[in-house]
Amino acid sequence: MSLYEQLAEDIQQMIAAGTLPPGSRLPSVRTLRSRRAVSQATVLQSYALLEARGLIESRPRSGYFVASGPPAPSVAARPTDPLAVPVDVSDLVFHILGATRERRLLPFGSAFPSPLLFPLDALAASLSRSTRGLDPWTTVTDLPPGSLALRNEIARRYLASGVEVGADGILVTNGAMEALNLCLQAVTKPGDVVAIESPAFYGALQAIERLGLRAAEVRTDPIDGIDLESLREVLDAQPVAACWFMSSFQNPLGATVPDTRRPQIVRLLAERGIPLIEDDVYGELYYGARAPRPYKCFDRDGLVLHCGGFAKCLAPGWRIGWVAGGRHAPRLERLKTMSSLATNIPAQEGLADYFGRGGYETHLRRLRRRLASQQEEMLAAITRHFPDGTRATRAQGGYFTWVELPERVDALELHRLASAEGIGLSPGPMFSARRAYRNCVRLNHGHPWDATLRAGIARLGALAAQLA
Amino acid sequence: MSLYEQLAEDIQQMIAAGTLPPGSRLPSVRTLRSRRAVSQATVLQSYALLEARGLIESRPRSGYFVASGPPAPSVAARPTDPLAVPVDVSDLVFHILGATRERRLLPFGSAFPSPLLFPLDALAASLSRSTRGLDPWTTVTDLPPGSLALRNEIARRYLASGVEVGADGILVTNGAMEALNLCLQAVTKPGDVVAIESPAFYGALQAIERLGLRAAEVRTDPIDGIDLESLREVLDAQPVAACWFMSSFQNPLGATVPDTRRPQIVRLLAERGIPLIEDDVYGELYYGARAPRPYKCFDRDGLVLHCGGFAKCLAPGWRIGWVAGGRHAPRLERLKTMSSLATNIPAQEGLADYFGRGGYETHLRRLRRRLASQQEEMLAAITRHFPDGTRATRAQGGYFTWVELPERVDALELHRLASAEGIGLSPGPMFSARRAYRNCVRLNHGHPWDATLRAGIARLGALAAQLA
């Protein structure tokens, strides 16, 4: 990392931690220059980077200020219980999901970014090209573990991010969702306990429910992710068969575990021989200078099962994901073969063609910038329209904003009222085995901002104020 | 069915049943005309159809003869046990499958027909066209149950085959394999008993093993499929949670349940409220005048879960299948969403485009003719080269020939010897929870016949003779 990126990173952490609160003034260029013993150009570059990320704004003749927005939620104050519980969320989740599929609803409840943000033409061209020239025998050679050309591309990206996984350690799957489900099945048996974040991705809750497992919720800071002490408590309270964690831009909080804490978490689990299923589907969507390093980077024992996918960063609807399963790779390949045999071959070869032509990095940079700027719009609108006492996360990547509303607001009731007015949202209880987070909602800022969305957030704020 | 088709069907049944053995002379045109009270043209049309199917051959100045081939196996004489057993076949199956993926092996052990038999150019054109014009919002609208355009096409084909299932009763899946696995999961819980054919598709055995179920093997006639008495015995011996049966061109036998017995099987299961998972992936590959009617045709209670796919008849490697789940449809859609979320959207829309342009029926007719003629080649080669006492099935569709070798031949040993010489095959024990069928092999006749394949069968016969 260059000097200016390092400086920007440090400031970003201070903003995330609330040391520099929204609206506060940043140190002047001169002050910072002398304190950090760097050149003026370095400070200006840092500020420019932070401004591009939407984290700070320059005001003419006044200097730089932390972008305004609601205050961040504190680590959930509610006492957590380290003991596992059975999971029964599917009815609620499917009830809510059914609504988000309706196109008439504003997409704040959606799990996907807008499909208009993706290079659909280039992808279609790659798919056409590779399918026309496809070796018919790929129907045999691309059986699990999958297309070698695609696995090579994924391995190259691993190398660039500091993860040592070769093409032969990668299994291509029907989206990351299949990868995650295969992992969970590979390392558990019915009745086992799985440690998850709190709040957690509802897909993890459903997978746990589907396989007859129990969930132990680990306290999760809205900024810094997994709390190490809480994790230790959970592990001490019972035998834990596996963890399912998102290290970066966690769904639904947007939390990102600091780089320094990542090896500690991996080590703690390795000491106890517990496999860590790493759901890293948002990893490419960082707003900062570089991607956080996945848990898999610190895996010395083959115990991290790293799952990724292209649905959120490149090719929605193609359903191509993968897993680098470490020591569980052979079992995962068998489970994949037994449960869905293979993965769509034109899509695998089409992606390999797309990567071979370049352009992915340019697309990603543009996508990250747009998501960051949409986040600013979302936070500004929440500040303006939501009732006093509202808090919200400012994730460093991805496209989710987690909003804590005043205690009296019931998110399920808000969901009902909002749906009736054509506004989608994801209520907090979908993200918890205990149906907690009753006064929280997850809002999607993955859609290009316009007057309709602005009006939608205004109306949502008014409804929340009514309930508060 | 027209008169001549009916006559051909009757003769085909007599050949299949051995009433007209291989090499025997058919009644003269004049005899048949007067006995059946039909015109000479009708008889000639029937014979022409049977000749086209490779079932009979005309010899100049001598008349028509049943095509030669080895005698059919009789219904497995071995006493079957109606009680379920746990399944543990995966190591064996994966050991064998690992070998069949090697391109250097002659493809007699393969589960797929040659990819060269499919309209790859037309499919590539449809995929290109539909992807270029794709509505970006299909990423949302094509979530389960899947593309409406494709489900409409599948529903139209159901209508034509006498099955009453609308587009809203169909769930698109990642190949038929995912559909079958979802079905099994939807209607069982660990420890349950599932009734299967004997021998059975190893994929069914693996799914049963993966979900911690037990298998009860039902006696299965190599010609007529499921034995009704044996099925009743299995159902009486224990509570059975589900059946997983293939009604047509069963893998590995090639057996086809007679139309008259199908409603009896469906009724027997309905009386006891037992769901029937129908694996119908070979249904389109009939050599006769028309497709057999699936069990689903006779389903009055929504208890038949009919699974199909396009991998074997149209688009290998696209991984598009479906299930018409009857009363279990809502649960299947949930399980699909939870385990792999969605199915590749370009492939779904590409298939819908292909169907919309016509040409599928022409492709199917050509494919069926080629498979039937390859079957003739295979049977003739087996007759010529395999040791005395060899029996083989003559399926009425699909691309598998089941071969019963003399008692002393060990198919696993034959597999080892043949693999070392570059010849693939699927040994009988892969197809049985009890590792039975020790002296049987499944041979694939789905590949265009040539000198290499002919030499391969000759060598296989010599190896079998050595072991006999």
In a domain, A315, yes or no: yes
More confident position, B35 or B465 = B465
Q: Looking at the structure, do residues B110 and B129 belong to the same domain, yes or no? A: no
Statement to judge: residues B267 and B306 lie in one domain? yes
Q: Is residue B76 part of a domain?
A: no
B268 located within any domain: yes
Q: Which of A245, A249, A246, A261 has its CA nearest to residue A287?
A: A249
E-strand stretches of B343-399: 391-392
Out of B103, B124, B131, whose CB is closest to A124? B131
Q: What percent of chain A has pLDDT over 70?
A: 98
Tokens read off for B291? 């497709």
Q: What is the pLDDT at residue B360?
A: 97
Residues A18 and A50 in one domain: yes
pLDDT of B17 over the 90 cut: no
Q: Which residue did the predictor score with more confidence, B139 or A316? A: A316
Nearest-angstrom CA–CA distance, A288 and A368 = 9
User: Residue A98: its chain B contacts at CB < 8 A?
Assistant: none
Residue A175: inside a domain: yes
- Confidence at B104, pLDDT banded by 50, 70, 90: confident
Distance CA A202, CA B98 (A): 36
Chain A nearest-CA residue for B115: A136
Contact check, Cβ <8 Å, A139/B112: yes
Beta bridge partners of B308: B322
Confidence of residue A78 (pLDDT cuts 50, 70, 90): low
**Contact predicate B347/B320, CB 8 Å:** yes
Supply the CATH number for residue A451's domain: 3.90.1150.10
Q: What is the pLDDT of residue B76?
A: 60
Cβ-Cβ contacts under 8 Å for A203 (sequence gap 6 or more): A177, A180, B338, B341
The pLDDT tens digits of the residues spanning B302-311 come to: 999 999 999 9
Say which of A124, A341, A344 has its CB closest to residue B344. A344
Question: Are residue A98 and residue A127 in the same domain, yes or no?
Answer: no
B178 and B45 in a common domain: no
Q: Establish, for the pair of chains A and B, how many residue pairs have beta carbons separated by less than 8 Å.
A: 165
Give the per-residue pLDDT at B73. 83
What is the rounded CA–CA span in Å between residue B181 and residue A181? 14
* Chain B nearest C-alpha distance from A216 (Å): 20
* pLDDT, tens only, A353-375: 999 999 999 999 999 999 988 99
- Could you tell me if residue A78 is inside a domain? no
For the segment B129-135, the average pLDDT, to the nearest whole number, is 93
The string over B152-180, giving b where at least 16 C-beta atoms fall within 10 Å of a residue's C-beta and e elsewhere, is bbbbebbeebebebebebbbbbbbbbbbb
Whether residue A399 sits in one domain with residue A342? no
Cβ-defined contact of B341 to A177 (cutoff 8 Å): yes
Domain count, chain B: 3
Instruction: Please tell me the predicted confidence (pLDDT) of residue A69.
Output: 78
Whether the pLDDT of residue A77 is over 60: the answer is no
Q: Mean of the pLDDT values across residues A263-287? A: 97
pLDDT at A81: 86
pLDDT of residue A243: 98
Q: State the smallest CA–CA distance between residue B42 and chain A in angstroms.
A: 42
Question: Nearest CA to CA, how far is B330 from chain A (Å)?
Answer: 11
Lowest mean pLDDT among A72-86, A309-323, B175-189: A72-86
Q: How many residues are given for chain A? A: 468
| Interface contact A139-B174, CB threshold 8 A | no
Contact list in B for residue A178 (CB cut-off 8 A) is 174, 339-341
Range of the domain at A12: 3-66
**Per residue in B234-290, pLDDT tens?**
999 999 999 999 999 999 999 999 888 999 999 999 999 999 999 999 999 998 878
What are the start-end ranges of the H helices in B2-71? 3-16, 29-36, 40-52
Nearest-CB residue to B142 (from A121, A177, A317): A317
Cβ–Cβ gap A343/B207 under 8 Å: no
| pLDDT of res. B452 | 96
What local confidence, expressed as pLDDT, does residue A17 receive?
74
User: Rounded to whole angstroms, how far apart are CA atoms A56 and A26?
Assistant: 9
Nearest-Cα residue of chain B relative to residue A91: B334
Quick one: how many helices (H) and strands (E) in chain B? 16, 15
Tell me the sheet residues that pair with B245: B278
What is the pLDDT of chain B when averaged over all its residues?
Answer: 93
What is d(CA B160, CA B6) in angstroms, rounded to the nearest whole number? 19
How many Å lie between the alpha carbon of B104 and the closest alpha carbon of chain A? 12
Give the nearest chain B residue to A201 (CA atoms): B338
Calculate mean pLDDT across residues A54-62. 81
Same domain, A352 and A377: no
Average pLDDT for A384-412: 94
Residue B166's SS3 state is coil
Q: Would you call A38 exposed, middle or buried from its count of C-beta atoms within 10 A (0-12, 13-18, 19+)?
A: middle
User: For residue B79, is it within any domain?
Assistant: no
Distance between terminal CA atoms of chain B?
45
Tokens describing residue B290: 């028309």
A241: domain CATH number?
A: 3.40.640.10
Nearest residue on chain A to B140, alpha-carbon basis: A101
Do residues A201 and A308 share a domain? yes
Looking at the fold, whether A268 and A408 belong to one and the same domain comes out as no
Cα separation, B222 vs A311, whole angstroms: 46
Query: What is the Rg, in whole angstroms, of the alpha carbon atoms belonging to chain B?
Result: 22
Q: Report the residue of B101, B102, B105, B131 to disrupt the A interface, i.e. the one with the largest count of A CBs within 10 Å.
A: B131
pLDDT for the residue numbered B75: 66
Q: How far apart are CA B427 and CA A207, in angstroms?
A: 36
Chain B hits for A177, CB-CB cut-off 8 Å, are 339-341
Indicate whether A345 pLDDT > 90.
Answer: yes
Residue A50 has pLDDT above 90, yes or no: no
| Closest chain B C-alpha to A408 CA, distance in angstroms | 32
Query: Of B356, B377, B396, which residue sits at a domain end?
Result: B356
All residues of chain A having their beta carbon less than 8 Å from the beta carbon of residue B339 are 177-178, 181, 207, 210, 339
**DSSP letters for A52-106:** HTTSEEEETTTEEEEPP-PPPPPS--SPP--S-EE---HHHHHHHHHHHT-TTSB
Residue of A nearest to B345 (CA): A317
A243 and A194 Cβ atoms separated by less than 8 Å: yes
A460 and A379 share one domain: yes
Strands A400-404 and A440-444, sheet pairing: antiparallel
Q: Sheet of A426-427: strands edge to edge?
A: A391-392, A400-404, A440-444, A426-427
Q: How far is B424 from chain A (nearest CA, A)?
A: 14
**CA B350, CA B129: separation in Å to the nearest integer?**
8
Residue A439 in 3-state DSSP? coil
Mean pLDDT is lowest, of A58-67, B124-133, B271-280, for A58-67
- Say if residue B204 is in the same domain as residue B331: yes
Q: Is residue B78 part of a domain?
A: no
Question: Is pLDDT at A76 greater than 80 in this prediction?
Answer: no
Q: What is the pLDDT of residue A177?
A: 97
Q: pLDDT band at A460, cuts 50/70/90?
A: very high
CB–CB contact B139 A316 (8 Å): yes
Residue A103 banded pLDDT, cuts 50, 70, 90: confident
Residue of B1 and A193 predicted with greater confidence:
A193
Question: pLDDT tier at A341 (50, 70, 90 boundaries)?
Answer: very high
Min Cα distance A424 → chain B (Å) is 14
With bands split at pLDDT 50, 70 and 90, how would you rate the model's confidence at A141?
confident
Q: Is residue B199 part of a domain?
A: yes
Helix (H, G, I), strand (E, B) or coil at A157: helix
Looking at B296, B324, B356, which one is the last position of a domain? Answer: B356
* Residue B88 to chain A, least CA–CA distance (Å): 13
In this predicted structure, the answer to whether residue A79 has a pLDDT above a threshold of 60 is no
- For residue B121, what is the nearest residue in chain A, using CA coordinates? A132
Mutation site, A340, A343, A430, interface B, largest B CB count within 10 A: A340
Specify whether B269 is located in the same domain as B408: no
Cα–Cα–Cα angle for B408, B411, B412, rounded to 5 degrees:
120
